[in-house]
Amino acid sequence: MKLIFYSLLLTCLTQCNQPATPPSANVFKTTAITQAKSYDAIKNEIAVKRVDYKKVYFSSNTLQQKALLKEICAYWAGCLSNELFDQWNGTTWDFNGVANHPGDGSIACGYFVTTLLRDMGLVINRQKLATCASSEMMKKLAPNQKLLNLSYLDYHAFNERLKNTGTAVYIIGLDFHTGFIVNDGSETWFIHSNYINRRGVTKEPVATSAALRASKTRWMVSLTGDKDFLVNWLKK
């Protein structure tokens, strides 16, 4: 009996000293539930950021202002190629498309450009700029800047030229199309409402863009390289 008793006692003590069944690793994991931002929330964040930039810019010296404009350039590139594009991504193209908001219908290439500019905080006549020739739109947005004509370059040279600009945002006017060229520091993108096969809002590498390759003319204006343009955006 004693032998049985001691055996039972030893078993009990052994079991008591062992941890309970190891909890699943998931017990200690916290699941981050990320709520997608609404388009209006993104626009509000851009508006707040613009005001913050404005306060800093107009209270800074010349060197500080120059550094801040470089930061603003990167901010514009990020907003257009990420936050705003992500919301519009896949919106269908139509020649008569005038959507004001992602999900509100189709959008033409000119309206896509002017709508995103408006939602970045520019005070513009969206309809008037969207329906005029892209060269006229660019002149009105950056009146002190001479349009850059890169039509003479073969496509490889054109792509290399854009790759070497550093972080920047441009508007480009083609034979009968327009959109944004965005160099985000690592890749150069063509962001536009693509008429080819009615694909709609698209972000594609410049190197592989059929719409860019198909055009014989390529006129551009730099938004982020234009101090007057950026300062006017800050003043609003």
E strands present in the chain:
148-149, 168-173, 178-183, 188-194, 200-205, 219-222
The whole-angstrom separation of Cα 234 and Cα 228 is 10
Give the tens place of pLDDT for each residue, 106-158: 999 999 999 999 999 999 999 999 999 999 999 999 999 999 999 999 999 99
Strand order in the sheet with 168-173: 148-149, 219-222, 168-173, 178-183, 188-194, 200-205
Lookup: tokens for 214: 């198909």
38 closest CA partner among 6, 105, 100, 86: 86
Count the neighbouring beta carbons within 10 Å of the beta carbon of residue 72: 20
- How far is the C-alpha of 207 from the C-alpha of 205, rounded, in Å? 5
Tokens of 69: 């404009």
Q: What is the pLDDT of residue 103?
A: 87
Whether 16 has a pLDDT exceeding 70, the answer reads no
Instruction: Report the DSSP pairing between strands 168-173 and 219-222.
Output: antiparallel
225 contacts 115 by C-beta, under 8 angstroms: no
Residue 40 CB contacts under 8 Å (≥ 6 apart), including other chains: none
Please give the mean pLDDT across all residues of the chain: 88
Is residue 184's pLDDT more than 60? yes
Sequence length of the chain is: 236
State in Å, rounded, how far the first CA of the chain is from the last one. 94
pLDDT higher than threshold 90 for residue 98: yes
Break the chain into its structural domains and give their ranges: 41-235
Contact 81, 170 (CB under 8 A): no
Distance CA 136, CA 133 (A): 5
Mean pLDDT within 67-72: 98
CA 234 to chain centre: 19
Q: Give the closest residue to 130 by CA, choosing from 145, 118, 121, 142.
A: 118
Q: What is the pLDDT of residue 157?
A: 97
pLDDT band at 12 (very low <50, low <70, confident <90, very high): very low
How do residues 209-218 score in pLDDT, each as one tens digit? 999 999 999 9
The CATH code for residues 41-235 is: 3.90.1720.10
As a whole number, mean pLDDT of residues 62-90 equals 97
The whole-number average pLDDT for the span 54-82 is 98
The secondary structure element, H or E, covering residue 107 is none
* pLDDT, average across residues 215-232: 97
CA torsion angle 71 77 83 86 (round to 10): -170
